[in-house]
Every structure is written in C-alpha cells, then in structure tokens.
C-alpha cells in the first residue's frame, strides 16, 4: 500500500512525499496538507462491499464517492475500491431515466446509506412532497371508501330488489293454485317470463356494477390528470422565472449541462439551472424552485427549526404561489466599461499581524473610539446569567492594578479553585503543543543545508508560538489563583 | 457603539485591510430569496453617528458576500446570487461601476475570499458545487475545483501558505486543496450535517475551524484530522459563520441563526468566553478587523450592521 503510485502529482511534490516517508524533514511542510496515511485494506473491503451491492450500482458515481468520503475514506482508498469493483458502463446509468427507475434509485440510495440524515433544506419543498404523499394517501382513501360505499349500496339495493321480486313471485304462486289448471301453460309461460326477468335483472346488476367500476377508474384517472397538471404548472412557473432571469443576462453564459447522474437522481425533466439536491442521501424533491429555496441552510429535522421571520415565510409563500414581490426593481448592473483599468493602488499592502509569528501585545488606547481598547476588554460583555456573576468578578478585578491587565489582554472565566497549579498546568497544556515541540526538535536536529525558507519560517513560528502559548498558560494559572484571592477578599 | 441600518437584509460584512475605519456590507432584498442586492461601503467616524455610508452599489440580484482586494485599496469583489462575480472600484462613482463582471458559475456564488499572502487572486465558492480561482485582470477563471457533491458554502485561503485553501460544503465534508495539485489533498468528513463555514487559525497554519448546521463549531488540526481538537457547543441553531481572530491565537468568533454572536477560546475548558445578543433576526455575517485589535462587526437579517470593540456592548450608545 505504501507503494501506491501517486501519478497525479508533479515530480517535485512526489519526491517530497517520498522523502517524508523516509523520515526526512525537507518539504515536510508541503505534505502537511496531504494525507500521508497508508491505505487501509479493511476500509477498502468495506467500500468494495458497498460498491458491489446491486442497489448501489444503479446510483450515480458522485453519490457513491460522497458516501465513502463521509465514512472517512481517503481519496486513494476510494479510487482503489472503484478500481477493484468493475464500474457499470455510463450507458446503464443514463438508461435509468424512467420514473419508476428513478424512484427505485432514490429508494435504494436511502436504503443503502446508513442514517439518511433528514436534512430539510427549507420547509416548503418538504411540505410540498409531504403534501404530495398526503394527497396520494387521501386519494386512495377516498377511492377505497367510494368503492366500499358502492359495494354496500349495491348490496343494499340488490337485496331488497331480490326480496321484493321473490315476494312477488310468492304472491303470484299463491294466487296460482287457484288457476292452476288453466294456468299450467301460463305457469310455464310465467316461469319463462320470470327467468327472463331474472336474467334481465342480473344483467342490470352487472351493468350497474360495471358502470361503478368505470366511474371509479375515471375518477382515478381524473385525479392523476389533476396531479400531472399541477406538476406541469409548477414546472412552467419554474421555467418562466428561470427564463426571465436568463433573458436578462449576457448571452455568452452557456447553461451548464448537468450530468446524467443528476437527472437520474431527481425524477423530473428540468432546465440545466435547477438544483438537484443530494442532501445527505435524503431525496427531497425541490419542486418549488422558482426562487432560491435552498437558502438558508436549515438545521437537522430532528431538532427544531430556527424560527424564520414572518416576512420571510410570507415571501416564500408568495413565491410558491407564483407571485413576485413588488419591491424588485429592474437594475442593469453590468460593467459600463468592461475594459476599465484597475486603479493605481494608493497604499502599499500592510503586513498582517500574524506575519510576525506571535500575537501582538499592543495595548494602545488612543485615537477614535474604535481603537480604544476597553480597560475591561477582558470582559466580553456577557449577557447570559451565568456570565453576569463572572462579569462582576471581573469588575472587582479591575481594582487590581492595571499592571496585570496590561500583561494579559483578556482574562478567562473563573475556573474552579486550583488546588495544585502543577496539575492544572499539565491538564491545560494543549495536546498539539506536544506535537509542535516534537517537530521543532526534529527540525532542529535535521542538518540539511537545502532547507527551504518556509521550513525556517515554520520552525521559528513553532518555537515562538510554542513558547508564547506556554507563557500564556503559566501566567493564566497564576492569574487565576490571584483572582480567586481577590474574589474571596472582595466577597 | 454605532449601528447602520441597511434597506435590505444583511449577508456579509468585511473590514478593509487598508483603512481602519472602512468596511463593506453585502445585502440582499427579501432575505436573498428573490430580489435586488446592494453593497454598502461604510466609514467609521469619531463623533456621532459613528458610522456613515460613503458609497453604495445597486445590483440586480442578491449579494451574498463581499471581499476587499489585498492589492488595490479601493477595489472590492462581490459574490452575487445570479452566479456572477463583480469587481467594484470605490474610487469611481457608482455609474462607472462595476468594472468587471464574470459570469461563470451556474448557481449562486455564496462566498468570495481574496488571497492575503499572494494578493493576486481570489476564490469564489458556489452552490454549483465548484470553487473557482480568479485573478482580477484576467477575463476568465484560472481554475475550477469540482469535487464536492453539493453546494460549497465557503472557500478560505490559508493565511500562511498562498497556495493552500479549504472549502466547506453541504456534502458535509471539509476539503483542503493546493492550487498546484489537480484535486483536493485532504477530505475531512467534519460533521454529520452541512458545513456552512470554515476559517484558518492565523497563528497556527495547520488548524482550522468549521461550523455546521448541527449547531457546533469544530476545530481541526490537519495533521491529525480523524478527530477534532475541540467541539464548541453553545449555539442554539445552525452556526452560519466562523472566524478566527487576527490577533489572538485561539480566539474564534461565530454567528448563528440563534441571532447571537459568540466568542470562543478553544484551548480552555469552558470555551464560550463571550456572547452578544444584539441582533433580532438571524446573524449571518461577522468579521474581525485585521488593523484594529478587538474591533468586530456583525450583520444579520434584521438589516442592521453593528461595529463594536470586544468587551463593549454593541448596543451601547
């Protein structure tokens, strides 16, 4: 795994990373922002299992990659897993464009990805999808109820009819024996007539039930048509607003052709500009995209949504109804002179405070209000109730000579009483510090003459940063003990 | 402390790296859903009212972010909702502006960041899943970085290494890139929900913070990225922006949909060191001045821009 060829890197960087693997410190800096971990075979095996799953194979490649990335696999591991699992041909992916296929894909992705985080971007699209489902459920319920109702009605009407018919026959039979002798041939006739009537009634019933079925299916069809029309209308709304936007723009903006993956993912025909959401595996259909409905990103659905301003909800509902807010003006914000020269800079760029390697200790309080450092700048203006007591503590601390305030520009909140300062220091010492110290030691011991400027800068910085932070820690703890004394005395 | 009332909802605020008393504000009409936008350039003044507008630029679509040039003191770059990236020269009157408009992104451009070390290029992050690298005087982008599977909410340059940047995306990953490399060099699955913002530690070039829809801020060291250095809890809703202090090593400022702006020190036990509740709607923009230590600004959907010194109450007069 360590010999995994890094063919995509230019020679100098690959040399550098090889050197790092050999323990050298040259250009170690460059590889800090790169993965230097070896490839983990167990992760690759998991990835292969995932990729070999038949449901996963139908999903777009970018979603598979994104899933593996979120599981913590490195690029190399993902590439290796893809290499080992034969990729389905692109034509397979594009072939899955039918509605059913897309819905199946959506269902698969949801099933395969563990914990499909139900990130709801904004309420309206989810409302809309929920609205859809609700609608469908309602429709099915209504149809079932009507079917049951007609069945019951038919039964109820059929049985009385039968009964009355039977009673009629019984009455006729009763009156028959009187005329039996004469009525024999007529009885036969009557029997025939009765049979005819029975068959007629049966056919009537059959016809009626058939009509019922027809009306039911018609109703269902009508409802589906309605849903389709609604969807078409929404599409038109969206495309209209998009067209408006595009018309206002420069014509050399070629609409981006979205990959087949994204078209497969959603399920509706769309213009290139529409967003196909991925949203952590939960497939929220963004139908109401006449406006930027993905703004702002909302918290997870399992916790409460942040209360949006009322006017925000008003505007969202306006957009969904297809209305445009009336306060929008037509503005031409294209450059009047695209070849306008950049101005001559009047001031030279200033050095950044962090270029000097350590945080500045400047405490100037002269000049305009924005430069005046609050003598109580340690107190950040707590507004929480717990903080108020700390604020009071800090206020009492201002009775302390300004010397301490000048030495430290801010005071941390009151920690519990420190019994053993040495232990407190050991706990407080942040872990990265140890790492930086190690690097400093390693760098110092390295005697290569060809060390880069950046490396020098880094070691200098680490040293100063390390010392500075250490100083900070020690004085912090000393200060805290003093503060406690003050606090206790003050109380 | 001065307050500026904008006509539209605030989205972003940035201090100028050249002038201590100057800042730019990006705003959008109708909460950025649909409508125009406006860029304000504000000047802080010693006497009342404290902050005044020196110039403003109208745009056809929402402005989601703005960034000052590090090479030209009067130039700023804007990220717009119609996918365009526009360059404005504040030394020219509004009718002569913008001086450039680049239409390449297919979706809203959510953030723009100017390179503070090389000073010759800037990055834009867009909801079309890509990050683009630009130079001001070139007519087209230099590179497009396309790896994220969802909206990229922010791309930020490393303050020490001019070729390295980080991107935060709705696909829940944080990616580290080097412009000399063909693709991302690290992928950190930072949160279980969308990552809305990221920023580098100015004093430790391997440390960066991410903020997410899951209400937390996580601090990472790229050298051991499997687990975060710290997880900062305290916000009640999604954390929209996070910013490392330019003056203090471990100080982080953040703003959230819980309408508050918080200050954190990730190296101490009780990390929350300050909290400001001055906004009455989502707090979405925050910045800390590089030139004046302790000076902060924030903006939110309540159309207000506050500028204050740490330790002062932003609403105090």
Residue A340 lies in a domain: no
Q: Which of A297, A334, A377 sits opposite B238 (nearest CB)?
A: A297
Could you tell me where the beta strands, DSSP code E, fall in B29-179? 37-44, 51-59, 63-68, 75-80, 84-89, 100-103, 109-114, 121-126, 130-135, 143-146, 152-157, 164-169, 174-178
Percent of chain B clearing pLDDT 70 (strictly above): 100
Residue A282 CA to residue A284 CA, distance in Å, equals 6
| Predicted ipTM of the assembly | 0.86
What is the phi/psi pair of residue A161, to 5°?
-60, -50
pLDDT in tens, B222-240: 999 999 999 999 999 999 9
Residue A68 lies in a domain: yes
Residue A463 belongs to what H/E stretch? helix A453-490
Interface test with B, best of A117, A275, A354, A355 (most B CBs within 10 A): A354
Sheet holding B239-244, edge to edge: B239-244, B251-256, B261-265, B272-276
- CB of B227 within 8 Å of any CB in chain A? no
Residue B204 CA to residue B221 CA, distance in Å, equals 9
Report the interhelical angle of A61-70 vs A75-84 (nearest 10°): 130
Chain A residues within 8 A of B83 when measuring between CB atoms = 253
Residue B24 CA to residue B15 CA, distance in Å, equals 6
Q: Which of A249, A269, A292 is the last residue of a domain?
A: A249
**Which residue is closest to A454 within chain B, CA to CA?**
B161
- CB contact under 8 Å between A384 and B275, yes or no, is yes
| Beta-ladder partners of B261 | B255, B276
- CB contact under 8 Å between B246 and A337, yes or no, is no
Q: What is the pLDDT of residue A420?
A: 61
Mean pLDDT in residue range B284-296: 95
Counts of helices then strands in chain A (DSSP H, E): 17, 0
CA distances from residue A299 to A296, B36, B108, B236 in whole angstroms, order as listed: 10, 26, 20, 10
Number of domains in chain B: 1
CA nearest to B25, candidates B73, B70, B62: B62
Chain B residues within 8 A of A303 when measuring between CB atoms = 215
Residue B282 lies in a domain: yes
CA nearest to B127, candidates A301, A294, A284, A243: A294
Distance of CA A55 to the CA centre of its chain: 22
- CB of A474 within 8 Å of any CB in chain B? no
Residue A93 lies in a domain: no
Pull the structure tokens for residue A398.
């201002």
Residue B71 lies in a domain: yes
CA distances from residue B254 to B90, B113, B160, B171, B249 in whole angstroms, order as listed: 28, 17, 22, 21, 15
- CB contact under 8 Å between B99 and A292, yes or no, is no
Provide the 3-class DSSP secondary structure of residue A63. helix
CATH number, domain with residue B48: 2.130.10.10
Residue B317 lies in a domain: no
- CB of A251 within 8 Å of any CB in chain B? no
Q: Cα A66–A72–A78 angle (5° rounding)? A: 60
Mean pLDDT in residue range B236-255: 96
Q: Are B276 and A346 in contact (CB under 8 A)?
A: no
Q: Are B66 and B103 in contact (CB under 8 A)?
A: no
Distance of CA A42 to the CA centre of its chain: 28
DSSP label of A375: T
Residue A445 CA to residue A459 CA, distance in Å, equals 12
Provide the 3-class DSSP secondary structure of residue A249. coil
Residue B144 CA to residue B125 CA, distance in Å, equals 10
Residue B26 CA to residue B41 CA, distance in Å, equals 9
Residue A2 belongs to what H/E stretch? none
Pairing outcome for strands B3-5 and B304-309: antiparallel
pTM, two decimals, is 0.61
Q: Are A396 and A456 in contact (CB under 8 A)?
A: no
CATH number, domain with residue A45: 1.10.10.10
User: What is the nearest CA distance from B45 to chain A, expressed in angstroms?
Assistant: 8
The b/e string for A259-279 (b: 16+ C-beta within 10 A; e otherwise) is bbbbbbbbbbebeebbbbbbb
pLDDT in tens, B183-211: 999 999 999 999 999 999 999 999 999 99
Q: Which domain holds residue B182?
A: 3-309
Mean pLDDT in residue range B122-147: 95
Residue B146 lies in a domain: yes
Residue A225 lies in a domain: yes
Q: What is the pLDDT of residue B313?
A: 87
Report the interhelical angle of A453-490 vs A385-397 (nearest 10°): 90
Q: What is the pLDDT of residue A433?
A: 45
CA distances from residue A323 to A126, A234, A328, B113 in whole angstroms, order as listed: 20, 12, 12, 35
Provide the 3-class DSSP secondary structure of residue A410. coil
Interface test with B, best of A125, A319, A358, A380 (most B CBs within 10 A): A380
- CB of A382 within 8 Å of any CB in chain B? yes
Residue A294 lies in a domain: no
Provide the 3-class DSSP secondary structure of residue A247. helix
Residue B258 lies in a domain: yes
Cα torsion through A51, A52, A56, A61, rounded to 10: 40
- With a CB cutoff of 8 Å and minimum separation 6, the contacts of A169 are A194
Provide the 3-class DSSP secondary structure of residue B77. strand
**Three-state DSSP string of B104-123:** CCCCCEEEEEECCCCCCEEE
Q: What band does B49 get if pLDDT is binned at 50, 70 and 90?
A: confident
Distance of CA A244 to the CA centre of its chain: 28
Residue with tokens 């069809």: A221
What is the phi/psi pair of residue B188, to 5°?
-115, 110
Number of domains in chain A: 2
Question: What is chain B's Cα-based Rg?
Answer: 18
Residue B44 belongs to what H/E stretch? strand B37-44
Q: Are B37 and B61 in contact (CB under 8 A)?
A: yes
Q: Which domain holds residue A227?
A: 214-249
- With a CB cutoff of 8 Å and minimum separation 6, the contacts of B48 are none
Provide the 3-class DSSP secondary structure of residue B206. coil
Pairing outcome for strands B75-80 and B272-276: unpaired
- CB contact under 8 Å between B128 and A430, yes or no, is no
Q: Are B45 and B51 in contact (CB under 8 A)?
A: yes
Pull the structure tokens for residue A158.
């059929």
Residue B316 lies in a domain: no
- CB contact under 8 Å between B203 and A359, yes or no, is yes
Q: Are B300 and B285 in contact (CB under 8 A)?
A: yes
CA nearest to B239, candidates B202, B201, B199: B199
Cα torsion through A243, A249, A251, A252, rounded to 10: -120
Residue B131 lies in a domain: yes
**pLDDT higher at A159 or B102:** B102
Q: Are B141 and B181 in contact (CB under 8 A)?
A: no
Residue B307 CA to residue B289 CA, distance in Å, equals 10
DSSP label of B200: E
- CB of B73 within 8 Å of any CB in chain A? yes
Residue B118 CA to residue B33 CA, distance in Å, equals 35
Q: Which of A33, A275, A415 sits opposite B164 (nearest CB)?
A: A33
**Which residue is closest to A464 within chain B, CA to CA?**
B203
- CB of B135 within 8 Å of any CB in chain A? no
- CB of B138 within 8 Å of any CB in chain A? no
Positions of chain A with pLDDT lower than 50, given as ranges: 1-29, 90-129, 253-291, 293-296, 298-302, 375-409, 411, 430-491
């Amino acid at each position: 795994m360590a010999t995994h060829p890094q063919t995509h890197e230019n020679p100098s960087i690959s040399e550098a990373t090889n050197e790092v693997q050999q323990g050298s410190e040259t250009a170690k800096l460059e590889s800090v922002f790169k993965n230097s971990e070896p490839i983990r075979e167990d992760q690759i095996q998991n990835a292969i299992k995932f990729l070999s799953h038949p449901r996963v194979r139908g999903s777009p490649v970018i979603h598979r990659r994104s899933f593996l990335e979120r599981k913590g696999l490195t690029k190399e591991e993902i590439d290796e897993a893809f290499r080992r699992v034969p990729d389905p041909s692109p034509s397979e992916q594009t072939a899955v464009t039918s509605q059913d296929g897309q819905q199946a894909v959506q269902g698969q992705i949801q099933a395969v990805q563990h914990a499909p985080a139900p990130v709801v971007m904004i309420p309206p699209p989810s409302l809309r999808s929920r609205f859809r489902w609700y609608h469908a459920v309602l429709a099915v319920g209504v149809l079932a109820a009507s079917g049951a109702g007609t069945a019951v009605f038919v039964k109820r009407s059929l049985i009385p009819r039968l009964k009355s018919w039977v009673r009629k026959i019984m009455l006729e039979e009763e009156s028959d024996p009187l005329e039996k002798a004469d009525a024999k041939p007529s009885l036969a006739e009557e029997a025939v007539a009765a049979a005819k009537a029975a068959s007629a009634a049966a056919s009537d019933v059959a016809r009626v039930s058939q009509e019922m079925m027809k009306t039911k299916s018609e109703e269902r069809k009508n409802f589906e048509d309605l849903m389709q029309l609604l969807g078409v209308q929404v599409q038109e709304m969206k495309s209209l607003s998009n067209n408006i936007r595009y018309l206002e723009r420069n014509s050399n903006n070629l609409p981006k052709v979205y990959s087949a993956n994204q078209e497969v993912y959603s399920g509706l025909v769309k213009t290139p500009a529409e967003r196909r959401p991925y949203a952590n595996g939960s497939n929220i259909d963004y139908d109401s995209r006449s406006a930027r409905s993905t703004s702002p990103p909302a918290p997870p659905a399992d916790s409460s949504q942040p209360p949006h301003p009322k006017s925000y909800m008003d505007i969202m509902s306006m957009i969904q109804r297809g209305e445009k807010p009336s306060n929008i003006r037509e503005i031409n914000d294209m450059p009047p002179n695209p070849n306008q020269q950049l101005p001559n800079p009047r001031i030279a760029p200033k050095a950044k405070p962090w270029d000097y390697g350590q945080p500045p200790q400047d405490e100037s309080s002269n000049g305009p209000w924005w430069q005046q450092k609050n003598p109580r700048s340690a107190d950040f203006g707590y507004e929480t109730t717990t903080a108020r007591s700390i604020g009071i503590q800090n206020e009492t601390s201002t009775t302390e000579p300004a010397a301490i305030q000048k030495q430290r520009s801010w005071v941390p909140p009151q920690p519990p009483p420190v019994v053993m300062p040495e232990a407190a220091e050991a706990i407080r010492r942040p872990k990265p510090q140890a790492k930086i110290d190690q690097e400093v030691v390693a760098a110092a011991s390295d005697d290569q003459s060809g060390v880069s400027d950046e490396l020098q800068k880094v070691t200098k910085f680490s040293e100063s940063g390390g010392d500075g932070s250490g100083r900070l820690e020690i004085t912090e703890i000393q200060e805290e003990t003093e503060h406690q004394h003050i606090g206790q005395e003050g109380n | 402390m001065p307050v500026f009332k904008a006509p539209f909802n605030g989205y972003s605020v940035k201090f100028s790296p050249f002038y201590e008393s100057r800042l730019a504000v990006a705003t959008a009409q109708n909460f950025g859903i649909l409508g125009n936008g406006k860029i304000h350039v504000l000047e802080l003044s010693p006497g009342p009212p404290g902050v005044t507008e020196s110039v403003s630029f109208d745009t056809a679509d929402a402005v989601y972010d703005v960034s000052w040039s590090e090479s030209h003191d009067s130039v700023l770059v804007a990220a717009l909702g119609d996918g365009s990236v526009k360059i404005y020269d504040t030394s020219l009157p509004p009718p002569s502006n913008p001086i450039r408009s680049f239409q390449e992104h297919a979706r809203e451009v959510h953030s723009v960041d100017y390179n503070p070390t090389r000073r010759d290029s800037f990055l834009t992050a867009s909801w079309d899943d890509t990050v683009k690298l630009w130079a001001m005087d070139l007519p087209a982008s230099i590179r497009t970085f396309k790896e994220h599977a969802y909206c990229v909410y922010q791309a930020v340059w490393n303050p020490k290494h001019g070729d390295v940047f980080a991107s935060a995306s709705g696909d829940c990953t944080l990616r580290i890139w080097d412009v000399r490399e063909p693709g991302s060099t690290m992928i950190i699955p930072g949160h279980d929900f969308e990552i809305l913002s990221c920023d580098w530690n100015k004093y430790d070039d391997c440390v960066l913070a991410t903020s997410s829809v899951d209400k937390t801020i996580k601090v990472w060291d790229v050298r051991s990225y499997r687990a975060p250095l710290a997880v900062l809890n305290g916000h009640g809703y999604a954390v929209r922006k996070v910013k490392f202090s330019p003056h203090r090593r471990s100080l982080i400022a953040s703003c959230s949909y819980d309408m508050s702006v918080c200050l954190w020190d990730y190296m101490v036990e009780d990390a929350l060191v300050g909290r400001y509740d001055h906004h009455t709607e989502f707090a979405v923009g925050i910045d800390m001045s590089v030139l004046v230590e302790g000076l902060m600004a924030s903006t939110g959907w309540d159309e207000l821009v506050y500028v204050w010194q740490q330790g002062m109450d932003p609403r105090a007069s």
